[in-house]
Copies of this chain bind each other. A is one copy, B any other.
Amino acid sequence: MNSFNKLHTIGKKAAHLKGVIHLLDWDQETYLPPEGAEPRSEQVALVSSIRHDLITSETYRQTLESFEPDTDDEKACHREWMRDFKHAIALPSSFVEEFAKTTSEAVEVWKEARQKSDFSLFAPALKKVMNLSRQKAEYLGYKETPYDALLDDYEPDTTTSQIEVLFNDLKKEIIPLLKSIKNKTDKKLTGTFGQEEQLSFSRKIAEKMGFSFKSGRLDLTTHPFCTSLHPLDNRITTRVYTEEPISCLMGVIHETGHALYDAGLPIKWFGTPLGEYISMGMQESQSRFWETRIGQSRPFWSGFYKELQTYFPTQLKTISEEEFYNILNRVEPTFVRVESDEVTYPLHVILRFEIEKALINDQLPVEEIPALWNQKMKDYLGITPPNDKLGCLQDVHWSCGHVGYFPTYTLGNMYAAILFNAFKKDHADWESRVSNGELSFINDWQKQAVHQHGRRYRSLPLLEKISNAPFSAKPYTDYLKEKYQNHPRS
């Protein structure tokens, strides 16, 4: 067996073990009986440590170091395997254990603090997590600032200073845009929208998009998510609010976007970096492309509103297609990120990025978070949270130690804007095709543009290759302005 095959064999095992961990996590969110949570955390920790041992073993190191890649494919694999290996050995197991223990306790404290809407209860635990995250950054290494190391974990080779430039560009455009927007309707959806009907319509749309229920599932959870055990086993979840059918459907469209990326990764490269997605940002670009550029578009509802009405004939009788479209695209500053619209969403993210960056770079004491949060909400969105629950205690990320993750939500939207422009160039007739109920050609395009490459390219070089232009925030702000300000919405 040559070195590549040896590495691929170990890589396949590591990939299957990741699939097993994803099943353990999926089961925990969907079907695990409550008392099974304790053994479950031990199972996850065990399989994770077996996986870690496998990809940091002496055999693996030697094979990797002596590997002389031949083809372009092998060179790409080698580069990414080296990156993963350096990352895996950077953190001592004692640190990984302490990190896991501290964050798992912090999540419990956060839950209580959030419930009581009292940040002071959470502050000591958060301080510990931030200290460990800073330590993590030191272990991982960075060029300019500790936050770089954490960001790199979610979006490889992207730096804090890059994000700062991009996010400042966004603020300059979006804050005034938000002030200028006037909603076209005040109509609201009323009535009860049955769970079965919502799920049935959502499943239909997911299938139209290219999701196969032969190699995937849809289940219900508190928060929608997507996980993949293998390109042939992709599982999405959603939630249903019977007072409106949008959350469920948009959850499904978003998660299907993720799932189609996972399902579109080349199976022959399973167990190598060429069979893996590029980054969290690129993942988010796929889900947001589908959710906002397609699911929230006029052509989509020209194609599907009549069908949605057949599911809810009485509830949607008095709502025209145009009114429905306007309800769906209503812009309004609100306190909670996950419920926010396309225009305010990036401001929520920028606020979090600025705060967590300051925390990691030791420029902000934890105690001052609530005041700074509320100040930024006022500055960016013009509203002030009435309490910490609706303010700085709303997200689970920090308690989990997911520092550096937030920016990828907005990067994803920026990527989606660039991809959408390229897609429109290749498919000038996309509006009429979508209006006719065609969707899977969009997945075909994304497969060819993004999915097929695995981790061969980083996000930015790939996007520059696709768009033939340097990367910037402009396509994204242009899109938002075009849709929400200049474009007649009727």
Query: Which of A29-37, A319-327, A344-352, A396-404 faces chain B?
Result: A29-37
Interface residues of A in 228-271 (CB under 8 A from B): 229-230, 232-233
Mark A2-40 against chain B: 1 for CB-CB distance below 8 A, else 0: 000000000011001101100110010001111110111
Q: Are A16 and B36 in contact (CB under 8 A)?
A: no
Q: Are A20 and B24 in contact (CB under 8 A)?
A: yes
Query: A17 contacts which chain B residues (CB < 8 A)?
Result: 46
Q: Are B214 and A33 in contact (CB under 8 A)?
A: yes
Q: Tell me if A475 counts as interface (CB < 8 A to partner B).
A: no
Closest Cβ of chain B to A326, distance in Å, is 37
Q: Which residue of B lies closest to A21 (CB)?
A: B20
- How many A residues face the partner with a CB closer than 8 A? 34
Mark A41-65 against chain B: 1 for CB-CB distance below 8 A, else 0: 0110011001000000000000000
Query: A215 contacts which chain B residues (CB < 8 A)?
Result: 33-36
Q: Are A31 and B214 in contact (CB under 8 A)?
A: no
Interface residues of A in 456-483 (CB under 8 A from B): none
Knowing A13-B46, A46-B13, say if A230 contacts B36 (CB, 8 Å): yes
Q: Tell me if A216 counts as interface (CB < 8 A to partner B).
A: yes
Mark A210-230 against chain B: 1 for CB-CB distance below 8 A, else 0: 001111110100000000011
Interface residues of A in 120-176 (CB under 8 A from B): none
- Stoichiometry, as copies per complex, reads 2
Q: Are B46 and A232 in contact (CB under 8 A)?
A: no
Q: Are B24 and A43 in contact (CB under 8 A)?
A: no
Q: Are A35 and B217 in contact (CB under 8 A)?
A: no
Q: Are B23 and A39 in contact (CB under 8 A)?
A: no
Interface residues of A in 398-428 (CB under 8 A from B): none
Query: A217 contacts which chain B residues (CB < 8 A)?
Result: 31, 33
Q: How far is the CA of A39 from the CA of B31 in the complex (A)?
A: 21
Q: Are A232 and B43 in contact (CB under 8 A)?
A: no
Query: A39 contacts which chain B residues (CB < 8 A)?
Result: 16, 19, 229-230, 232-233
Which of B35, B214, B219 is the one whose CB lies under 8 Å from A214? B35
Which of B24, B33, B232 is the one whose CB lies under 8 Å from A38? B232
Q: How far is the CA of A34 from the CA of B213 in the complex (A)?
A: 9
Instruction: Name the residue among A19, A212, A214, A219 with the largest chain B CB count within 10 angstroms.
Output: A19
Q: Are A213 and B33 in contact (CB under 8 A)?
A: yes
Mark A174-195 against chain B: 1 for CB-CB distance below 8 A, else 0: 0000000000000000000000
Q: Are B23 and A27 in contact (CB under 8 A)?
A: yes
Q: Are B35 and A232 in contact (CB under 8 A)?
A: yes
Q: How far is the CA of A16 from the CA of B35 in the complex (A)?
A: 15
Query: A42 contacts which chain B residues (CB < 8 A)?
Result: 12, 16
Q: A-B pairs with the 3 shortest C-beta distances?
A: A36-B233, A39-B230, A35-B215
Can you spell out 12 A-B residue pairs with CB atoms less than 8 angstroms apart?
A16-B43, A20-B47, A23-B23, A34-B215, A35-B212, A35-B214, A35-B215, A35-B232, A36-B229, A36-B230, A39-B230, A50-B50
Known contacts A31-B217, A33-B217; 20 further A-B pairs (Cβ under 8 A): A16-B42, A19-B39, A20-B20, A20-B24, A20-B43, A23-B23, A27-B27, A32-B233, A33-B213, A33-B215, A34-B215, A35-B214, A35-B215, A35-B232, A35-B233, A36-B215, A36-B230, A38-B232, A39-B230, A39-B233
